[in-house]
Amino acid sequence: DEKEREKQLRKIQELLKKEELYAKFSKCEFWIPKVQVLGHVIDSQGIHLDPAKIESVKDWTSTKSPTEIRQFLRLAGYYRRFIKGFSKIAKPMTKLTQKKVKFEWGDKQEVIWRHYLYGTKCTVFTDHKSLQYILDQKELNMRQHRWLKLLSDYDCEICYHPGKANVVADALSRKER
């Protein structure tokens, strides 16, 4: 009610004065339902992550160097209070930032973020022409069933791209490790 709001506003004014802080009231907004501050949204339900910041984390591409991992971990670490078990999740990536550890980005590091791929549309390009039809197949062998079960977790489209037109990726996939 209006009387209660007036009381709250007086308390705010007194607190500002006591702490020697000054506010230009023409630039202030009071009693708004929600506010965005420093990557967070504050409303009557509490403090939440800003959806735009969540998107920036989800859209982050795979890292290519220890420096990129540090950048990503700083961003994700800012929101650690919202991520249960953050240190456990980030541990395989954190190890890659150490000087004595050889940088290898692989399945172990990728799988910890795998659940963030759920619900994200992706396109898979393959030189296996008949693979583009696997999602529409009615009869599958056991191996294909396993593949389809794995793929069903993701919103993906499979597109054919001839191997001869994809020389770099083809060479990289056949390179001995």
Q: How far apart are CA 80 and CA 87, in angstroms?
A: 8
- The pLDDT assigned to 118 comes to 66
What is the number of residues in the chain?
177
- What tokens does 80 get? 């650690």
Q: Name the one residue in this structure whose structure tokens are 């961003």.
A: 75
Q: pLDDT tens digits, residue range 61-79?
A: 777 788 888 888 887 887 7
Intervals of the chain under pLDDT 70: 109-110, 112-120, 165-177
Say which residues have a Cβ less than 8 Å from residue 38's Cβ, sequence separation at least 6: none
